């Protein structure tokens, strides 16, 4: 049974007392996360909202191990992300976390297909002979099979973001983290992206999405608000439609 669907580890994200400060000049520092405690269970869809500059992206960076906390613990898919070596982090991230950014971050000189294959080449979870077929299947899920050989610059923003989602799913990660994934999309493309996320959650993926889109956040079962580096709201806004675990 894969980890994604297994029962061994239902707590996908666990943050204990996470503090993050950045140096500001010689002796000063700015504390951006001021003691964050958070638990996210397998299969949850969580939206993270809050004013700009209040620590949302920093929080995601703690969870993905892109950056480290100044204090506190970050346990993700059972791994102590706060204390792992860079090499272990890179290997872990490659097949446990799919990351989606506002500006897609596709490699411009590679086709959509090659972009989606890249994480598979890095993680070695899928055999090299099956990677292209898997990438094509993922592009089909995001409705891009007919664009597979195009460069990112030749397709629309919505299409690039859907390809970025396919890339994030390349190694079938248990956790997908998206930082304002619809921030650069028209409302129709945003709805497509959101529908895809819902589909992933139905299949057991745990999904964290930072968004400024109130309409989208309202449709997500659990909403966390970050204000001034603290969780100031954590509620099951969509409780009426949320079916639990
Ligand atoms: P949000 O995603 O909520 O808009 P961020 O987490 O990006 O906010 O940033 C929170 C605060 O931390 C901002 O004031 C930002 O300037 C600061 N910050 C983020 N990254 C760094 C960094 N590497 N060095 C110094 N300050 C940073
Ligand atoms: Mg941000």
What span, in angstroms and rounded, lies between the C-alpha atoms of 242 and 226? 22
Q: What is the predicted pLDDT for the residue at 185?
A: 87
Best probe residue, ligand 1, of 48, 49, 55 (max atoms within 8 Å of C-beta): 55
What span, in angstroms and rounded, lies between the C-alpha atoms of 195 and 15? 28
Question: 205: domain range?
Answer: 42-62+85-236
Residue 73: CB atoms within 10 Å: 15
CATH number of the CATH domain containing 109: 3.40.50.300
In sequence order, the β-bridge partners of residue 222 are 46
In a domain, 35, yes or no: no
- 64: CA distance to ligand 1 center in Å? 16
Instruction: Kindly list the protein residues that place their beta carbon closer than 5 angstroms to ligand 2, a single-atom ion.
Output: 56-57
In a domain, 163, yes or no: yes
- Decide: 189 in ligand 1 pocket, CB within 6 A: no
Residue from 106, 211, 113 nearest 157 by CA: 106
Q: What is the predicted pLDDT for the residue at 215?
A: 85
- 32: CA distance to ligand 1 center in Å? 7
pLDDT in tens, 60-108: 999 999 999 999 999 999 999 999 999 999 999 999 999 999 989 999 9
Residues 48, 56 contacting (CB under 8 angstroms): yes
- Decide: 57 in ligand 1 pocket, CB within 6 A: yes
Q: What is the predicted pLDDT for the residue at 222?
A: 95
- Put simply, whether the predicted model's pTM sits higher than 0.75 gets the answer yes
Residue from 242, 207, 204 nearest 6 by CA: 204
Residue 136: CB atoms within 10 Å: 17
Q: What is the predicted pLDDT for the residue at 101?
A: 92
Q: What's the total number of domains in the chain? A: 1
In a domain, 16, yes or no: no
Three-state DSSP state, 184: coil
Residue from 115, 57, 123, 137 nearest 92 by CA: 123
- Decide: 134 in ligand 1 pocket, CB within 6 A: no
- 179: CA distance to ligand 2 center in Å? 7
- What are the residue ranges in the chain where pLDDT is below 50? 1-3, 5-7, 239-245
What span, in angstroms and rounded, lies between the C-alpha atoms of 42 and 24? 37
Q: What is the predicted pLDDT for the residue at 4?
A: 54
Alpha helices for 97-186 (secondary structure H)? 112-123, 128-141, 157-168
In a domain, 69, yes or no: no
Residue from 88, 78, 113, 66 nearest 7 by CA: 78
- 80: CA distance to ligand 2 center in Å? 24
In a domain, 244, yes or no: no
- The two tokens of residue 22 are 């950045």
């Amino acid at each position: 049974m894969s980890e994604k669907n297994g029962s061994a580890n239902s707590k996908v994200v666990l943050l204990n007392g996470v503090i993050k400060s950045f140096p500001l000049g010689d002796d000063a520092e700015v504390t951006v996360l001021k003691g964050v405690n958070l638990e996210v269970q397998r299969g949850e869809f969580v939206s993270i909202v809050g004013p700009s500059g209040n620590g949302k992206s920093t929080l995601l960076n703690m969870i993905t191990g892109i950056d480290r906390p100044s204090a506190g613990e970050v346990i993700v898919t059972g791994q102590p992300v706060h204390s792992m070596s860079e090499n272990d982090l890179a290997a872990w991230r490659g097949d446990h976390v799919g990351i989606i950014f506002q500006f897609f971050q596709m490699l411009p000189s590679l086709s959509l297909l090659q972009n989606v294959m890249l994480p598979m080449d890095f993680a070695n979870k899928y055999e090299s002979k099956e990677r292209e077929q898997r990438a094509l299947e993922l592009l089909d899920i995001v409705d891009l099979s007919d664009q597979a050989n195009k460069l990112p610059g030749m397709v629309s923003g919505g299409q690039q973001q859907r390809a970025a989602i396919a890339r994030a799913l390349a190694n079938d990660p248990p956790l997908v983290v998206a930082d304002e994934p619809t921030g650069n999309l028209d409302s129709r493309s945003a709805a497509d992206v959101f529908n895809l996320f819902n589909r992933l959650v139905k299949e057991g993926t745990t999904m964290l999405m930072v968004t400024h889109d109130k309409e989208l956040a309202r449709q997500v079962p659990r909403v966390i608000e970050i204000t001034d580096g603290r969780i100031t709201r954590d509620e099951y806004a969509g409780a009426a439609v949320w079916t639990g675990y």
